[in-house]
Amino acid sequence: MNRWKTFTGALALFAMCSPAFAAVNIFACLPEWAALANELGGDKVSVYQASNALQDPHHIEARPSLVARMRSADLAICTGAELEIGWLPVLLQTAGNQKVQPGQPGFIAAADFVDRLEVPTRLDRADGDVHPGGNPHIQLDPRNVAKVGLVLTQRLEQIDAGNAAYYESRGKDFQGRWAQAIPRWEKDAASLKGLRVVPYHKDSVYLIKWLGLVEVMDIEPKPGIPPSAGHLSELVGRLKGGAADVIVRSAYQDPKAATSLAAMTNLPAVELPYTVGGTPGAKDLFGLFDDSIARLKAVKK
């Protein structure tokens, strides 16, 4: 009998400690929001990350496994601004989980809580894959991450009121560490101001503006349209004479076009993590910005 009591007691302790028994199940569309949810939720949440850093966030397959995870979620956090338009609506509809539908406390579209750049004045498919609500790649300005963090903390407190004090404490701790990191990053990146960059896609806009870089042109002829050989040749002509300093691409993008353009122009090319996990140095949200700045500074030398 004593051994049975010991066994059942240990089983109960395991259940309390296991992530599967966490108070809040969170479905995070993208790595940056999974990382933020873990920072703020600690051991009171179980976070499922629906994609990884080497996947194009525009094009994720709405697999049955994702539907199942969405069905059991208490909270879903995604970017919104139509970044996930090709797959998120399918997940939400198929899962049929009312707690995480848009407009409910259990759904967060991060882009709704920041000032978006590049909001178009006209909508025309001839302009490529233009997002009506503005550029959705908001996570590359750390000030946006702080804003989204405040919203996520509030929602966790609302959904899991019994642990509200815990979330408040973790939120204050994260915001404090983040507020100290931003001026450190800005000081570290001061020498990068004015650096002329040629990104592959319009996914570096927030980083470019925050650091004071200059976007000369994009490798894509239009957003979402892969460059042809003819377009690359045209870019070579436009980049002759020192029009740019560096070619940049995100870790999830095919390196071929950037590598070819770098070879034809003798410009350095740098891979940026784009999100948490994109490079070995971008292990968490702090590492995302540490590594992005370090990689750009390495080219500047």
Higher-scoring residue by pLDDT: 119, 274:
274
Same domain, 162 and 32: yes
Would residue 1 count as lying in a domain? no
For residues 22, 171, 143, 191, the Cα torsion angle rounded to the nearest 10 degrees is -100
- First vs last C-alpha separation in the chain: 71
For residue range 142-184, list pLDDT tens digits in order. Answer: 999 999 999 999 999 999 999 999 999 999 999 999 999 999 9
Non-local (6+) Cβ contacts of 217 within 8 A are 198, 235, 238, 239, 244
Sheet holding 24-28, edge to edge: 45-49, 24-28, 75-78, 107-109
For residue range 222-257, list pLDDT tens digits in order. Answer: 888 889 898 899 999 889 888 999 999 999 999 999
Would residue 149 count as lying in a domain? yes
Backbone angles phi, psi at 195, to 5 degrees: -60, 125
Sign of CA dihedral 284, 285, 288, 289: negative
Would residue 141 count as lying in a domain? yes
Domain containing residue 160: CATH number: 3.40.50.1980
Residue with tokens 């590594």: 291
Around Cβ 174, how many Cβ atoms within 10 Å? 20
| pTM summary value | 0.90
Question: Which residues lie across from 26 on neighbouring strands?
Answer: 47, 75
Would residue 245 count as lying in a domain? yes
Percent of the chain with pLDDT over 70: 89
Same domain, 151 and 175: yes
Structural domain ending residue among the three candidates 132, 157, 183: 183
Mean pLDDT in the chain? 91
Sign of CA dihedral 15, 17, 23, 29: negative
pLDDT greater than 80 at residue 8 = no
Same domain, 201 and 278: yes
Same domain, 139 and 271: no
3-state helix, strand, coil in the chain (%, to 5): 50, 10, 35
For residue range 72-103, list pLDDT tens digits in order. Answer: 999 999 999 999 999 999 999 999 999 999 99
pLDDT greater than 80 at residue 123 = no
Angle between helices 88-95 and 64-71 (to 10 degrees): 60
Structure tokens at 93: 């509809």
pLDDT greater than 60 at residue 17 = no
- Count of domains observed in the chain: 2
Q: Which amino acid is at 258?
A: A
Non-local (6+) Cβ contacts of 7 within 8 A are none
Would residue 11 count as lying in a domain? no
User: How far is 290 from 301, CA to CA, in rounded Å?
Assistant: 17
Q: What is the pLDDT of residue 183?
A: 98
pLDDT greater than 70 at residue 107 = yes
Same domain, 164 and 250: no
Residues recorded for the chain: 301
Q: By the 8 A CB rule, do 261 and 273 touch?
A: no
Buried/exposed 253-288: b ≥16 CB within 10 Å, e otherwise: beeebbebbbeebebebbbbbbbbbbbeebeebbbb
Structural domain ending residue among the three candidates 183, 211, 231: 183
Question: Which residues lie across from 235 on neighbouring strands?
Answer: none
Higher-scoring residue by pLDDT: 251, 19:
251
Same domain, 31 and 78: yes
Q: Please, how many CA atoms are within 13 Å of residue 220, restricted to the half-sphere of its CB?
A: 19
Would residue 108 count as lying in a domain? yes
Same domain, 55 and 166: yes
Q: What's the domain range around 234?
A: 189-300
Same domain, 156 and 193: no
For residue range 181-235, list pLDDT tens digits in order. Answer: 999 999 999 999 999 999 999 999 999 999 999 999 999 988 888 898 988 999 9
For residues 107, 112, 113, 116, the Cα torsion angle rounded to the nearest 10 degrees is 150
